Structures are given as C-alpha cells and as structure tokens.
Structure 1
Amino acid sequence: MSLNKNKIVVYFLLFLCSILSAQEKEQDTTKVETLEEVVIVGESNVMSVSKKLFTVETIKRKDIANVAGNNLADVLFNNLNITVNPDASNGRSTVSLFGLDGQYVKILLDGIPIISDNGLGNNIDITQINLDDVERIEIVEGSMGVLYGDNSVAGVINIITKRGLNDNGWELQLSLQEETVGNEFEFFDKGRHIQNVKATNQVNEKLSYSLGISRNDFAGFYNSYKGKDYVNINTQEGSVVNDSLRGTEWNPKEQITVSGNVNLDVNKHNFFYKLQYFNEDLDIYDRHVNGRYLNGRLNPTAVDQKYNTNRWVNNLNISGPLHGATKYNFTFSYQNQKRNYKEYVYNILQRHTDSVLTDAVSQSSEVWYSKAFVNNIISKSSFFDLQLGYEFTNQSGFDAIATGDYSSDVVKNTITNYELFGITEFQPSKNLSINPGARFTNSSQFNSHLIWSLSSTYDFSETLKLKAVVGSAYRAPNFEELFYYFVDSNHNVQGNPELEPEDGISIFTNLKDSYIIAKEGVLNPSFTFFFIDLKDAIASITTEEDGRTLFTQDNIDYSKRLGFTLDNSFIYKNWNIGLGATYLGITNAINESFNNSSDYLWSLNLQTSLAYKITKWNTTISSQLKYTGKTQNVFTNTNNELFIGETDAFTWLNASIRTDISSKISATLGARNLLDVVSINTGTSAGAHTTPTSSSRLIGNGRSYFLKLSYNLNF
C-alpha cells in the first residue's frame, strides 16, 4: 500500500480537526515558570555538565517527544550551530560544530565517552544513538579539555539517561511509529518503521530498574532507483542493460537497541549501572549488474555488501558524600564494538546468495575507562574551593579496510592515557567567581599534554549575567590518519604514524538577561562571542617516496573560527518562541594562496522554533525552522587547481502536533523537511576568474510524514 503526499496532507488536516473537537475541558490559567537550570557537576546530579563553568543548552524530554525523536540525528537538525552530515553511501550521520567535524566534538552517555568505529566519543554515527530512555541532552560549545580530555575541541554533547519513577510501582511504555521516506511508504517495507517497549519498576524510594528494546527499520530512500531485485533485461537480445538504476539512493539499515539500568541508593550513596546492546545491519547494493549465462540461461548477478555492527556498553557510576559537603564521583566503563563485513554474489532473478566472497571482521574496538573526582574539598571556605580527579583510558582495535583489506598487514593499535585534572574556584565577592583549571595527560602514543582553562562569571543583577570561558583541548589523530595504507601500481596513499595531536584554544563570552513582559511573559536574550584557534592542524600533503608521489598527512595547517551568536527565547502564556542567529567566519592556512578581501570566509545561520500548548485539549503544536546560509570553502577543479567555491544555502522546516488522547494514550503527527530538500550544490564558483566543477551533495530524503502512537500504563 503506497501513500502519496496529497493524501497524507489530507490525513494531517483531518487528524488536527479531530483533536481540536475531541475534548471540552476548561482551559486553566497558565503561569509563567522559570526554566530549570542544569545541575552543577558534584551536586545532586553528578552526570550533568557544569552550568557553573559553562553555558549549557538543554534539549528536554518534552522537546524530544514533540518531534518524535528516535535517535540523536532526529533532534540535532534544529540546533543553531550544529550541522548534521549524512552520508548516503555508508549510512552514517555525523555532526559538525562551528564547521569542525565530528572528530572535534565529544559525545557522552551519562558523562562517559561512547565507543565509535575508530575512537572514543568522537565522530560517532549519531543515527546509532537511541533516545528511548533519555531524560535530556546537554550541549556545550567551546574547548572542554580540562573536564573531558582529548577531542572535546569544539564542544561536548552529553546524553542523560532517565532514572526511576516518581512513585513506587510499574510503568509500561509502548510506542509505534510509522514514517514515510519522501513519498515512499509501504507497511513492512518502504519507509521507516519504529517500535519501542520499555518497563520500569520503582521498587521503593531507594531502588528502581528498567529494561527496554527499540527497533528502527529504515528501508532506504529509493528516489529514482529501483531496489535490490531490479534488473533491466533486453528481451530481444537476451542481455542485461546496465542503466545503474539498481539499489537505492540511501542505503537501508535496521537497528536494534536493548538497554537496561539499575538505580540504587544505599544510605547517602548512589549506584547506577547501565547495560546497552546495539545491533545494526547495513545493506549496500551494487548498481552494476553482471549479465552472465548459466546453463544457457541468462543469470544476472551483482556483488553486494553487508555491514553488521555489534556494540556492548557497560557503565557504572557511584557517587556520594565523603565528609560533610565534600562529595565523590566514581565511574567505570567497559565497551566493545565489532563490525563485520560481508561481500557476496547476489542472484537477482532467483533472489538468493550464490557465493560469499568475503566474510570477516572489518573493525574492532575495545575500551576500558575510568574516571573519578572529588569536589567541594574546601567546603568550609566561602572564598576558595577545589575539585580534583583522574581519568584512565585504554583503547585497542583495528580497521582492516583502512590498513590492509583483510591481509596479513592489518594494523592493530593500542593507546593508553593516564590523566589528572583539577579545577579551583575563587569567589572574591558575592557576584564574581573565577575558576582556573588544568589537566595533565600522559599518553602511550603521543607526547604528554597540559590542558588548561579559565572561566569566570559575574552577576550584574539577579538576571543579567556575564560568563567568559577560555580553554584548551587537543584532537588526537584518528586511526586512518595514522595507519591508512593503499598502495598498488597506481596508488600510493599512506597514513603517518608520526602525527601529533592538534592543539585547540577557544574563547567564549556570553551575556544573558531576563525580562518580565506584560506580567505573564518572559524574554531571555543571550549574546555570545566566540573564537576557536587550531594549531598544528592535520592536512593532506604530497611528497616523494622511492621516486613515486606519496599522498599522506602532516601537522602543517592551522584553522580559525570567529563569530557571534544572538539567541532569544520568549515565553508568553501558552506560547514558547525561539529565535537565533550565528555569523560564522572560517579561515585556514590554505587561504593564504588567494587574494581575498577578507581572511575569513563567512556564513549566516538562522534558527527559529515555535510551540503553542492548547491546554483545553492537552495538545502541543510545534515547528522548527533552520536556515543554513551559503558557505565558502576551498575546492579542487578538474585541473587540480585550488579555488574558493560556495556551497548552496538551504532551509529545513519541521512541524508536528502532539496530543494526549487519554491519560494513557498519546499521539504525535508531523512532517520533517517540509520544504523537500534532497541535495545542494557544492563547489560552485565564488569568483569570476575560476573554471571550477560543481557537484551535488545529498543532505535529505525529501518531505516525510510520521505518526507515532504511545501507550503508558502505570500500576
């Protein structure tokens, strides 16, 4: 059963009308509520990012529910300074922050870095991070090296797990979500199909546990392609016509996430254990068909690929008081991930596998991790306080495709880091606090690093606050940059095991205020200035090796970001409105080869959100719009000449309606990418004297509609 867009629009309007006429409750008077602050590290919630030290943006559970967010990619599209970068070929979606890719952004689960294909916490495929048991998401911009170590150069994304229930008893949560992919949908086939089940038991005020499972089946985006079982046969000649229409535009994948946690209070000490298992199957269909004959009959086949990822996460957190107001926080984690690669010959007409060419582990990672700190050490002093801690990481693994393609030369690598950090607080007056900090890292692979930070907050009044943060962090080279190896008669591309980490320094200054408007409204404006400076940035170079040109990497580059962000939120009665803008400039060492009017290449980003709650019908209508302006970058044309080109601007618009049909059942109906953005042009000329080539980059799969039904049973 296929759906078309016109029918879906009609269903959307009918659903809205039924909501608006279904219930007749009297509207309550809505009071303006002050937004809750994120709790400081070391206070009641030790997994949160410190809002005392940093400016923290929070995506709450209700925000995730309003957009029917299943994974992290579903909700980060609307963040002003974050760009989600999907890759249709391998199914991965990563983030960039201020134009710095996912290698510079650290993603944490309850304050613990998440294992990824080639690292810990960075360059994560955010479509693999399920949000079913998530309480909120915290986003911090700027170098966070003192608290979170390497790779937290551009910022940190911290995902906080739900803990227990408000009252003793059981809660059973069920949800079904059906979603079109563009205008493609069929039950059990085309589109996106999501199922979630979660059970939570609050045994008593000290003990709770939960267990949940989620399935996300993405059938791919066909666009103009014809699918796995398509073959074009010229019946007159009895031959295969290779029209390159086999397969899909976006590759299909199925994800299953199983998670459980236990939360226990013993006296004043808290024990929290989280276990998570993740499995993903990604199919890649070859667009080239082999038209061979078998026993006198045409037997078309294709060489397809399948990637299977398995990840286990074990996280334990223990926290509590040591003496008086002095508290400790201890974390231990063991994580492992394996990715299996299968290459096989698929018989298209008979729809089965003829033979398997390769079936081997292509990537493996194992991480042992521990972190602990003690804060409020000088608890009796009103002028000075101290927090001290350590962090230990041992990660080992390999990437066979990057370094040997399953040959005997596959490189295995192990990195062990021992780190000590401390943060002090000086409070010379009631309105002023100064927080210097430092971290020392001893690495088994790289030189030792000293990371530092200095943050300060000054309260001009109860509402007008100024916060400044200067800090450093470093980005360690990834596995491919160190060990990539592809050498044959036509290629000589190798990594550089001698690479050193990139050093990054950032400056962030934030001024925010709060105004009462018309007695029932609150306006919260915020202005941020930022500067990020990367030194010894890793860049591609060419050199000579044995008379051949060698393509490799070296620490020769630099990169800087400079910009301003103005963000406003306005709450009035049942309205919640957000409006923000960022003007971002980027410069790199390569820019020096051009005669530019400015060293920086500038872009403008805009973001707005709107939510209206109809209390009478327990319904929230919301929309999010994000404009990503033209960006200038350095490209290479067909003559291998460098030029400054432009990537087109685009606008992303989502809208949804969420309603409580009864005390147990809720429904969310919405649309993603209402403006139907699929691809944008990159590399177009920004000047009059260049002859560049232009290409198209896929960023979406068209206008999609979703319906989510949730059932909550408490007993």
Structure 2
Amino acid sequence: MSLNKNKISIYFSIIFFSWSFAQQKRTVSDTTEVNPLDEVVVKGESNVMSLSKKLFTVGTINRKDIDNLGGNNLADILYNNLNISVNPDASTGRSTVSLFGLDGQYVKILVDGIPVISDNGVGNNIDISQINIDDVERVEIVEGSMGVLYGDNAVAGVINIITKRGLKNEGWELQLSLQEETVGNEFEFFDKGRHIQNFRATNQVNEKLSYAFGVSRNDFAGYYNDYKGKNYVNVQDNIVVNDSLRGTEWNPKEQITASANVNLDLGKHNIFYKLQYFNEDLDIYNHTVNGRYQNGSLNPTALDENYKTDRWVNNINVSGPLKGATQYNFSLSYQNQKRNYKEFIYNIIEQQTQSVEIDALSQSSDVWYSKAFVNSILPKSRLFDLQLGYEFTNQSGFDANATGAYSNEVVTNTITNYELFGITEFQPTKKLSINPGARFTHSTQFDNHLIWSLSSNYNFSEKLKLKAVIGSAYRAPNFEELFYYFVDANHNVQGNPDLQPEDGISLFVNLKDNFKIAKEGYLNTSFNFFHIYLKDAITSITTEDDDGRTLFTQDNIDYSARLGFTLDNSFIYKNWNIGLGATYLGVKNDISESNTNNDAYLWSLNLQSSLAYKIPKWNTTVSSQLKYTGETEGIFSNDDGETFIGLTEAFTWLNASIRTKLTSKLNATLGVRNILDVVNINSVASAGSHTSTTSTSRLIGNGRSYFLKLSYNLNFKH
C-alpha cells in the first residue's frame, strides 16, 4: 500500500512555505516554541551541573519544542539549529553532528552530564540517531571550547541531554505514543517508511521517591530511492543481469531502547540512578547479485552484511550540601557496548540465509567514568569563590574493523585519563564578575595537558548584558587514527600510535538585550562574535615505512580556523512567536600551516527562521522552521590517502507541523520534514597545486517525508 503525496505536498507547501520563506533572510535561534535558544542555568532541575549561567551562553531545546517537531531521536531535533549540521551516512546508517563546520569528533555529547559511549570513543563522534529522546526534559547546547569543565573533545562545544525526573504530584503518569512516517514518497505499514512506538510509566511514590521505566522502538525500513529492495533480481534469458538496483539507498535498521530510573531525596541530598539498554539491528544489502546454478536451475544469491549493537548504561549521581551553601556533586558511570558483525550469503529466490561466512564480535568498549566537584567553597566571601573537582575515565576495548578485515591480530587497548580542574569567581563589583579556570590531564596514552579558560560578565542593566569567554580544549585521536592496521600485498595503511591531541582555542563574545514592544510584545536579541583556532590537526599523509614501502598513515600537521558573527532574535506577540537569526561564518583550512599560501577565509551565510502560532480555541499550535546552510569548506581524503580542500554546495531545509489536543488525554501531531525535497548535495575537492578536481555527491536526506504522531497521557493518583 503506497502513499501518493502530491496533493498533500501542495497543501502543506502553500500553508507553511508561504510563512517560512518570507522569513528566510532572517532566522530562528533554535526551535519553534516560545523559548528559542533561551539562556538557562546549566545545572537545571536535574542538578547534573552546578555552575552559574554567568560562565556560558547556553541554548536550550525544551520538551514542547521536541513534541512540535515530532522528534524521536537527537538527529530529528538538531536539523533546525543554526550553527549545527547533522551529517548522515547512508551506507552505515550513522548520523553525526558538526558545530561551526567541525565534525562530531570536536563536539562532546553528554546525558545528564556524563559522556556517551561511542564506537571508539567517549562523548565524541556519537551516532546521534541512536540517542532516543522519549524521556528527555530538554537539550542544552554550549558553543566554544569547554575543556576546563568537560575535558577532551569539547573543542567546538557541548550538547547536554537532560532526562526527566519524577512528577510534580504524587501518582502515576502513563505515556503511550505511536508515530507513522513516510520516507520520501515511500510508505507501507510494515515494509516501507518509519514506524515508532514509545511507552513510559512514571510513579511519584511520595515527595521523596519516584521511579520510571519505558521502552521505545524505532523501525526504519530504509530509503529505496529507485532501488528495488532485498528480494530483487533481474533475470533475462535465464541469466542474471547485474544492474546494481538490488537493495536500498539508505540501509534499514531497527532500534530498541529500554530504560529505568530511580530518583530519591534523602533530606537535602539527592540520589539519581539510570539504567538503559540499547539495541540496533542494521542490514546492509549488496547491490551486486551472483548468478549461480544449482541442480540445473538458476539460484541467484548476494553477499549481505548485518551489524547488531548492544549497549548498557549505568549512571548514578549523588548531590547535596556539605556545609551551608557549599554543594557537592558526584557521578559514577559504567557503560558497555558490543557490536557484532555478520557476513552471509542470502538466497534471493528462497528468501533466506544460505550460509554464514563471518559471525564475529566486531567492536567492544568498556568505560568506567567518574566526576565529582564541590562548588561555593567560600560562600561567605563577597569577592571570591571557588569550585574544585576531578574527572576519571578508563576505556578499554577493540575495533576489528580497524585491524584489517577481522584479522587475528585484533588490537586491544586501554586508555586512562586522570584529571583535576578548578574554577574561581572574582566579583569586584555588583556588575562585573571574572571567572578563570584550569584543568590538568594526565593520560596513559598522551602527554600531559593543561587546559585553561577565562570568562567575564558585565551587566550594564538587568536586561543589557555582556559576556566574554576565552578557553582551550583538545581533541584526542580516536581508535582508528591510533591503531588502524591493514597491510597485505596491495595495502599498507596504518594508524599512528604516536599521535598527539589537537589543540583548540576559542573566543566567544555575547551581547544580549530584551525589549518590551507594545503592550504584549517582547523582543529578545543576542549578538555573538566568535573565533576558533585549531592547531596540530590530524590528517592523512603519505610517507615510507622502515622497508621503503609507501605508507598511508596519520600525522599532526593540519591547522584550521573559524571566524564569525551570529545574530539571534526572538519576537513574542500574543499567540505569535517568530525566531530570526543568521551566522556569517568564515572557515580557513590548510593542510600544512608552514606551507600555506592562502590566508583568506571562505565566508558563508547561514540563515534560520521559525514561526509558531498558537490557537487557544482549538488547543492547536501551527509551526514551521526554515534553515539555509551556505557553501562550506572542508578537508577531503581519497582512497589513496591524499588530502584535498574542497567546497560543499549550499542547501535549504524546511519543516512544518500542526500539533493539537484532540481530548484532555490525546494529542496529535501532523508534520512534514524536508518540504523542499533535498536528497543530495555536491562537494568539489581541488588537488592543491594540481589542476585536477574531484566531484562527489553526498546523501543528506531521504526526500520529503510526512508523519503523524498520536500521544496518549494518563495521570491518576494512588
């Protein structure tokens, strides 16, 4: 049962596109509702961080924004953010995030202040499509190098996901949601499209104790895009014709997330424990079909692949007062991830597995993590205060992909970091505060590192405020960069265990003000200047090994810089909320700083706008979001290990939705993603001093998609 969407497309485009396109030379800060990228206190309701908002400008995406977007995982809700790009990979099914053009290795992702485990790292290069947000209260975004507070890889910024804790009143809350979504113009209830089910139950036993549990299933059937599916074969005159149309453009996957938590208040002390299990089943269909004869008849097969990921997360946080206003915060986490790889021969006619060629553990990671700090150590001093803390990370494991096609020489490695940090606060006047900070890191893999930061605030008035933050951070090499090994008669590709972390420094200056316009109108505006400098960046190089063979490896030779300005505005008038914003971003990448002859930045304009209108009479909110991403510069590598600087073309992303309350317990959200039907964007890489260029096309979307989400909430007392 396929879904014809032409008439629906025209209908939605007329209503929403007319609203949003009129705003495309302006932009929104972050989301669709009343608080686009509001500044919040980082510690928030869950007390996972305890530093004042004086230190950073913090943006937030709240629960209402998430619901309006019909978001199910982190990738769904970050598409609309001004300085964030979501980078999907159709072949692996992974989606990573970049900030100011720096990829996911430079952005640290936390859940309740604790770094998320990834395939070969902790907190960075996370597959954000694997992070379910059904139990999320809000998402916080901090831009700039945040190494003093968050350690390695917090070079471009930090994304912190705050989960829900308890209810306002004693009793039960049961939440059930069903979501059906097309993938482009493809939809069938079982075999095509996207099918999502969520269930969550919360019990507030009394004012001190609550617990919750839930499960979510996200079934993505893949994106065919002219491919013919798993069971397709082209047979002509009893001969298999390899037209490369078997399989799908985007590979199908099923994700299941189950979680439980307990929140306990013991006097003034709080204990929060969270347990989560995640499973992903990813199928990769080979486009090539093998024409085989068996017992005199044609029996075509294909060599397919399957990845299964299992992840367990155990987090506990304890916080409370030590004495007076002095507070402590302690976190301990154990996370384990295993990914199994299977390569098998699939019989297309019989539609079943014929034989298994490889069935092995592909990747394994075990991470112990702990962080603790004490703040307001000198609460009686008006001029001076201090926060001190430590962070400990122990990661061990292996990645068989990084050792050359599941060889027997699997590299197992352990990296341990011991870190101490401190933040001081000087407040010479009521309007001025100065906050210097430092972190010392001792690593078993790398040289010792000292990270520093300095932030300052000056409040001209209650509304007009100036904030400046300068700080450093470093990006640690990932597992593949350190230990990749693929050597045979035709290949000599190896990681470099002597790599050192990349060093980054950023400067952010923020000026914000808010105005009352007319009787019921408010305008919040924020201007930002930023500069990010990255040296000793890791890149692919070509050299020789000890035997004189050509060696493709990694080294610290690149450098990169970002320079830009951001203007964010949000206007609220009665039931209207309009967000307008723009970033003018300059990027400069050089393969070798000493040899560069190009000191110019490549500038691009990024725009964002959002519009939301609430209809109280109908309990309905209508919203749309538009984001324009200008031409960007990046560094590309080819199969021979050569590195080039190239350009990626501009594109525009447009979403729209209607959220309405059908009854006191039932809500419905109807929406459209990617109204402009963006599927591919082109990149052109220049070979430096050579005249040749390489052009590639990258999949970033799966076409214009429609979704309908039904949410049922039931609350009752004990």
TM-score with structure 2 length normalisation? 0.94
CA contact (8 A) 2:39 2:57 kept: no
Please name the residue that 1:148 is paired with. 150
Please name the residue that 1:461 is paired with. 461
Please name the residue that 2:528 is paired with. 528
**C-alpha distance in structure 2 between counterparts of 1:409 and 1:604, whole Å:** 48
CA gap 1:93/1:353 in 2 versus in 1, 3 angstroms? same
Please name the residue that 1:197 is paired with. 199
**C-alpha distance in structure 2 between counterparts of 1:536 and 1:430, whole Å:** 41
Match status 1:580 vs 2:581: yes
Match status 1:287 vs 2:287: yes
Letter in 2 for 1:610: L
CA gap 1:595/1:641 in 2 versus in 1, 3 angstroms? farther
Please name the residue that 1:497 is paired with. 497
**C-alpha distance in structure 2 between counterparts of 1:471 and 1:382, whole Å:** 25
Letter in 2 for 1:395: Q
CA gap 1:513/1:712 in 2 versus in 1, 3 angstroms? same
Match status 1:657 vs 2:658: yes
SS at match of 2:693: coil
Please name the residue that 1:628 is paired with. 629
Letter in 1 for 2:93: G
Please name the residue that 2:684 is paired with. 683
SS at match of 2:591: helix
CA displacement, residues 371-415 of structure 1 (integer Å, 9 cap, x when unaligned): 111111101111111111111111101000111432221101101
Name the Cα RMSD after superposition: 2.3
CA gap 1:294/1:401 in 2 versus in 1, 3 angstroms? same
Please name the residue that 1:28 is paired with. none
Q: How many residues align?
A: 697
CA displacement, residues 102-135 of structure 1 (integer Å, 9 cap, x when unaligned): 0000000000001010010000000000000000
Please name the residue that 2:24 is paired with. none
1:316-331 correspondence runs (5 A)? 316-331=316-331
CA contact (8 A) 1:164 1:202 kept: yes
Match status 1:271 vs 2:232: no
Match status 1:305 vs 2:327: no
Match status 1:230 vs 2:227: no
Please name the residue that 2:347 is paired with. 347
CA gap 1:35/1:130 in 2 versus in 1, 3 angstroms? closer
Report the Cα offset of residue 8 of structure 1: 3.8
Report the Cα offset of residue 591 of structure 1: 7.5
CA displacement, residues 630-672 of structure 1 (integer Å, 9 cap, x when unaligned): 1234567999997754321100000000011111000000000
1:428-507 correspondence runs (5 A)? 428-507=428-507
CA gap 1:639/1:266 in 2 versus in 1, 3 angstroms? closer
Match status 1:60 vs 2:95: no
CA contact (8 A) 2:484 2:494 kept: yes
Letter in 2 for 1:145: G
SS at match of 1:63: helix
CA gap 1:637/1:284 in 2 versus in 1, 3 angstroms? closer
**C-alpha distance in structure 1 between counterparts of 2:156 and 2:14, whole Å:** 45
Report the Cα offset of residue 304 of structure 1: 0.3
CA contact (8 A) 1:457 1:467 kept: yes
CA gap 1:683/1:640 in 2 versus in 1, 3 angstroms? farther
1:171 corresponds, among 156, 170, 173, to 173
CA gap 1:280/1:410 in 2 versus in 1, 3 angstroms? same
Please name the residue that 1:589 is paired with. 590
Please name the residue that 1:367 is paired with. 367
Gaps of 5+ in 2: 17-33
1:161 corresponds, among 160, 163, 187, to 163
Report the Cα offset of residue 686 of structure 1: 12
Report the Cα offset of residue 6 of structure 1: 2.4
Please name the residue that 2:380 is paired with. 380
CA contact (8 A) 2:273 2:317 kept: yes
Please name the residue that 2:85 is paired with. 83
Report the Cα offset of residue 334 of structure 1: 0.5
**C-alpha distance in structure 2 between counterparts of 1:355 and 1:345, whole Å:** 5
CA displacement, residues 530-583 of structure 1 (integer Å, 9 cap, x when unaligned): 111112111111111212110111112211111111111111111111111111
**C-alpha distance in structure 2 between counterparts of 1:567 and 1:634, whole Å:** 29
**C-alpha distance in structure 1 between counterparts of 2:638 and 2:369, whole Å:** 45
Report the Cα offset of residue 38 of structure 1: 2.0
**C-alpha distance in structure 2 between counterparts of 1:173 and 1:42, whole Å:** 23
CA gap 1:425/1:397 in 2 versus in 1, 3 angstroms? same
CA gap 1:302/1:548 in 2 versus in 1, 3 angstroms? same
**C-alpha distance in structure 2 between counterparts of 1:246 and 1:406, whole Å:** 26
**C-alpha distance in structure 1 between counterparts of 2:498 and 2:328, whole Å:** 38
Letter in 2 for 1:133: D
CA contact (8 A) 1:173 1:710 kept: yes
SS at match of 2:66: helix
CA contact (8 A) 2:540 2:643 kept: no
CA contact (8 A) 1:638 1:693 kept: no
SS at match of 1:103: helix
Letter in 2 for 1:179: E
1:14-93 correspondence runs (5 A)? 38-41=40-43, 45-47=47-49, 50-93=52-95
SS at match of 1:290: coil
**C-alpha distance in structure 1 between counterparts of 2:81 and 2:181, whole Å:** 22
CA contact (8 A) 1:626 1:653 kept: yes
Letter in 1 for 2:120: N
CA gap 1:148/1:576 in 2 versus in 1, 3 angstroms? same
Moved more, 688-697 or 571-580: 688-697
**C-alpha distance in structure 2 between counterparts of 1:350 and 1:512, whole Å:** 65
**C-alpha distance in structure 2 between counterparts of 1:142 and 1:37, whole Å:** 15
Letter in 2 for 1:220: G
Please name the residue that 1:24 is paired with. none
**C-alpha distance in structure 2 between counterparts of 1:511 and 1:182, whole Å:** 41
Report the Cα offset of residue 512 of structure 1: 0.6
1:100 corresponds, among 96, 99, 102, to 102
Match status 1:694 vs 2:695: yes
CA contact (8 A) 2:391 2:420 kept: yes
CA contact (8 A) 2:177 2:709 kept: yes
Determine what percentage of the aligned residue pairs are the same residue.
Answer: 79
Letter in 1 for 2:455: S
SS at match of 2:65: helix
CA contact (8 A) 2:369 2:392 kept: yes
SS at match of 2:380: coil
CA gap 1:155/1:37 in 2 versus in 1, 3 angstroms? closer
Letter in 2 for 1:376: S
Please name the residue that 2:4 is paired with. 4
Letter in 1 for 2:628: Y
CA gap 1:85/1:48 in 2 versus in 1, 3 angstroms? farther
Report the Cα offset of residue 527 of structure 1: 0.8
CA gap 1:327/1:221 in 2 versus in 1, 3 angstroms? same
CA displacement, residues 412-471 of structure 1 (integer Å, 9 cap, x when unaligned): 110111111110000000000000011111111111111111000000111010000011
CA displacement, residues 654-695 of structure 1 (integer Å, 9 cap, x when unaligned): 000001111100000000000000001110779999442322
CA gap 1:127/1:530 in 2 versus in 1, 3 angstroms? same
Letter in 2 for 1:38: V
CA contact (8 A) 1:38 1:50 kept: no
Please name the residue that 2:239 is paired with. 239
